[in-house]
Structure 1
Amino acid sequence: MIAKAATISHGGNAVRYSVNKDKAEIVKVNFLPDYISAEAMYQRMVLKQKEFASTINKGRPLKRNVIRMEISPTKDETAGWTLDDWARLANEYIQVFDSIDLSKKAKRASAKSTNVKNSQYVVALHHDAKSGIPHLHIDVNRVDMDGKVNDDHLIAERAMSAAYIINERRGWVQPEDIYEKRRQEITDTCMDVLRSLSNFSWSGYEAGLKAHGYGIHLQEDDKGNVRGYSVLLGNSSYKSSILGKRRHLMPSKIEVTWARLHGERKSLVNSTVEQEKRTATVQPNNPQGDLSALVFRHYDISTDEYHQYHVTISEEADEIIRKECSVLDDNPFATIEDVRKTALLLFAKYLDGATSMATSSGGGGSDMSGWGKDKDEDEREWARRCAQMANCLCKRRRGLHR
């Protein structure tokens, strides 16, 4: 089982998504009627916050007013489950989540525990449309029934720690093992699809993956060239950079991999090298940092269902980020693409988006005070600093309960 948690400012949308999604089933509500609409549930949460508005958060508005949790056991772990089984899991998870003491690490007494059990929340069961894998969504009022604010410091780590504890109790597979098993299964499928193609094409590759029950998200530049892709399974996304050995399923290498499987490696390698040479000849010689002469790349980066950021970056700065970004092997939650996206968001000055991306990758928590682009800093140095900061932000948080 894996679990995620974050505080969000779009609580109304989150509750509507949890309750109203096609085939969603209400597992449990806490301090809320179970017969009212999603909108009415959220409004009751807001009313509770207004009841204590003068005392919570030192009288300032509570911007991130809902805790959003997602709990995803494996399909085998929940085979044959009823709604009562899911309710028991939700109760157990909330009890463990509340009990984890992070006060020393967060250096805040309020992080000693949360009080979700005494807060308004709704638990909904979703089934992924493609894979059918079930998972829970829990939306919690940040303000409990006594008017105290549920602490959100290191909340992603709190969620992962709770998952580790429950996995140990129940003898379930830990996140690293789930991640590695799925990564290998997807790699094997990708290789099988390549073997089945008489000629390589992205449309054929996409169709082959879909035939095996996977989705695919292609990232194209403004010329229609595929620069990256992710294989989708349920709510999980696996970047091409972490599939296979030596990244041989990435867009820059996948045609060579196809050719190797079909005994045509030499000719395709030569043509790929020639293409790289032709591409290199059109790269601008731009020692003075004249951005008007550069080719620009465009990315749309999503940090969750509701937040998407558009990033425009020069090709030169983008290449610096690609080269400077790295991820440690001991962090199973982050990929090189997660780090790169964090750097791109930093480059475009989307600080909230960057910290959210890093947190969802098992990192976060670094001091960002004073962070920003220096007045006279050129784009290359700024890109390099963004990559270095992304590497730091996406380092695995220590102290998880095992």
Structure 2
Amino acid sequence: MIAKAKAIAHGIRAMLYVSGESKNKKHPEKITRICDNFMPQGMDATGIWTEMKFTAMNHPNIKNNVIRMEISPAMEHTGDFTIDDWKQLWEDFAAAFDGQTIRDKDGKVVSGKTNVSGSKSSVWLHEESRSGIPHLHVIVSRVDEHGNINNDHAIHLRAQRAAEKVALQRGWTTAMHVHEDNIPKVSADCMEALRELSVWSWEGYRKRLADKGYKLFLRKDKKDVIRGYVLLKGSAKYKASELGIGRNLTASHIRQAWEKLHPGQDKQKAEQAGATPEPTSTPRPKPSVPNEARQKPQPVIRQSNPVCGNYISWQPGRQRTEFEYGGKTYSRYLPDRVIDFFNDEFDYRELANWQALQHLAMAYFTLVASPCGEISGGGGGGSQSDLKWGRDPEEDEIDFARRCAREASRRITAQKKSGMKRR
């Protein structure tokens, strides 16, 4: 079972989509109303949205005024579900969602309890997806029936943990367990693909994996050097860092893994084909040079080229997030795709100190801090500085986020959760 949650501003569009009234829905007949809570029953999307707006009228400054949720159990668990069963699933999930107090490593509350169970909500069953898996879509008011705001801090984690709790209560296999159970098989398929390669190449590796049902997506830096990859099989995603033994299947080590399976074969085949073996992404040893010369150059931010990083105000495609740095809590509006990148890079399921890494990377990204020294101008973003840190206007946000994550990892050693260790 998996679940997602996100606070959004476009409540009426989301409500039209969830109820099947949107023109983008090709099969509205496969969408079923499960329940409407704290509202008259049977209203259309506009009526439901009006009710929720009325509830939030005393909080005009809330931009993201509804919460959108998706709850997707495995198909084998819901084959004989009735409408009442789906309603009970929602109530169990809402209770697990509300019951959490999320704290950081020092025990400080990051996100207090919510009250979506006591808020206006509209719950719908969708059976029109390509996968054919029935799942719930829910729209919840950010303001509960007592006039209190449902906080949206760490809301994605709250949803994931609620799904895990409900699945365990019902004796269902969770998405995380399925993912973990599949990793040995995926690792074995990767090693088999390497054995089948007579000459090492990424394209050959891609084709061998495609024969086994996987899609390979390479992650490259600005210089087109391969830094990582992800495998997709169906809806499951596997990062290279999860696979193999001792990271032997990561982008920087996979060539050596192939060579161990084919000792001396790469050079021989390349000579016969009249080709030069493809170089690995692992940098070769360089002559000893001073530390200053070895340091990777960073974009120099000068007064004529202002730092790009003003994330102190909301814009479309951004969501509010909080992080800690230097004993202070900062609130910023980060792009959705940047937050997704940090969540993927520092996965809470894998790392015990994921939050510390995320917070430091976000501090770097928003220019609250710099790995090169203190940020001048107050660190609010958009300041002018002579420090060699910041995002050039022409640099993509994800590329800068990747640099921030890399710097955070250099300063905080990632601590794998004991349950995630592989033999």
The alignment's TM-score, normalised by the length of structure 2, stands at 0.59
One-letter code aligned to 2:366: K
Q: Distance in 2 between matches of 1:7 and 1:395?
A: 30
Q: Deviations over 1:309-367 (max 9, x none)?
A: 59xxxxxxxxxx9xxxx969xx525599999887666544299xxxxxxxxxxxxxxxx
The secondary structure found in structure 1 opposite 2:143 is coil
User: Which of 379, 383, 386 is the aligned partner of 2:389?
Assistant: 379
Contact 2:214 2:231 (8 Å CA) reproduced = yes
Partner of 1:366: none
Q: Specify whether residues 337 and 156 from structure 1 end up closer, same or farther in structure 2 by C-alpha distance, changes over 3 A only.
A: closer
Contact 1:94 1:116 (8 Å CA) reproduced = yes
One-letter code aligned to 2:389: E
Partner of 2:31: 26
Q: Distance in 2 between matches of 1:262 and 1:11?
A: 57
Partner of 1:5: 5
Partner of 1:349: 366
Q: Specify whether residues 185 and 288 from structure 1 end up closer, same or farther in structure 2 by C-alpha distance, changes over 3 A only.
A: closer
Partner of 2:283: 276
2:70 is the counterpart of 1:70? yes
The alignment's TM-score, normalised by the length of structure 1, stands at 0.61
User: Which of 286, 289, 293 is the aligned partner of 1:285?
Assistant: 293
Partner of 1:332: 349
Stretches of structure 2 lacking an aligned partner (at least 5 in a row): 269-276, 302-316, 320-334, 369-377, 391-402, 418-423
Q: Specify whether residues 218 and 289 from structure 1 end up closer, same or farther in structure 2 by C-alpha distance, changes over 3 A only.
A: closer
Partner of 1:202: 202
Partner of 2:185: 185
Report deviation, 1:225: 3.5
User: Which of 48, 51, 57 is the aligned partner of 1:48?
Assistant: 51
Q: Specify whether residues 172 and 287 from structure 1 end up closer, same or farther in structure 2 by C-alpha distance, changes over 3 A only.
A: closer
One-letter code aligned to 1:307: D
2:120 is the counterpart of 1:119? yes
Q: Deviations over 1:40-93 (max 9, x none)?
A: x3x54553354245522xxx4212222232334345444x34564544423432
One-letter code aligned to 2:293: N
Report deviation, 1:307: 3.2
Mean alpha-carbon deviation: is it higher for 342-351 or for 120-129?
342-351
Contact 1:343 1:389 (8 Å CA) reproduced = no
Aligned residue runs from structure 1 range 95-106, under 5 A:
95-98=95-98, 100=99, 102=101
Q: Distance in 2 between matches of 1:210 and 1:62?
A: 47
Contact 1:226 1:251 (8 Å CA) reproduced = yes
Partner of 1:355: none
Q: Deviations over 1:266-288 (max 9, x none)?
A: 869x9858973388999993769
The secondary structure found in structure 2 opposite 1:119 is strand
Paired residues in the alignment total 339
The secondary structure found in structure 1 opposite 2:185 is helix
Contact 1:32 1:120 (8 Å CA) reproduced = no
Report deviation, 1:142: 1.7
Q: Specify whether residues 280 and 144 from structure 1 end up closer, same or farther in structure 2 by C-alpha distance, changes over 3 A only.
A: farther
Contact 2:116 2:144 (8 Å CA) reproduced = yes
Q: Deviations over 1:189-214 (max 9, x none)?
A: 32333334444433343344444444
Mean alpha-carbon deviation: is it higher for 382-391 or for 227-236?
382-391
Stretches of structure 1 lacking an aligned partner (at least 5 in a row): 294-301, 311-320, 352-369, 397-402
Contact 2:230 2:237 (8 Å CA) reproduced = yes
Q: Specify whether residues 336 and 75 from structure 1 end up closer, same or farther in structure 2 by C-alpha distance, changes over 3 A only.
A: farther
Contact 2:67 2:142 (8 Å CA) reproduced = yes
Q: Deviations over 1:241-284 (max 9, x none)?
A: 1222221222222232233334458869x985897338899999
Report deviation, 1:387: 0.8
Contact 2:199 2:265 (8 Å CA) reproduced = no
Q: Which has the larger radius of gyration?
A: 2
Q: Compare the two structures and name the one with the higher helix fraction.
A: 1
Report deviation, 1:371: 6.4
Aligned residue runs from structure 1 range 160-179, under 5 A:
160-174=160-174, 176-179=176-179
Report deviation, 1:150: 2.7
Q: Specify whether residues 46 and 127 from structure 1 end up closer, same or farther in structure 2 by C-alpha distance, changes over 3 A only.
A: closer
Aligned residue runs from structure 1 range 123-162, under 5 A:
123-125=124-126, 129=130, 135-144=135-144, 147-162=147-162
Aligned residue runs from structure 1 range 200-279, under 5 A:
200-264=200-264, 276-277=283-284
Q: Distance in 2 between matches of 1:64 and 1:379?
A: 32
Identity across the alignment (%)? 29
Q: Distance in 1 between matches of 2:279 and 2:352?
A: 26
The secondary structure found in structure 2 opposite 1:230 is strand
One-letter code aligned to 2:4: K
Q: Distance in 2 between matches of 1:202 and 1:226?
A: 10
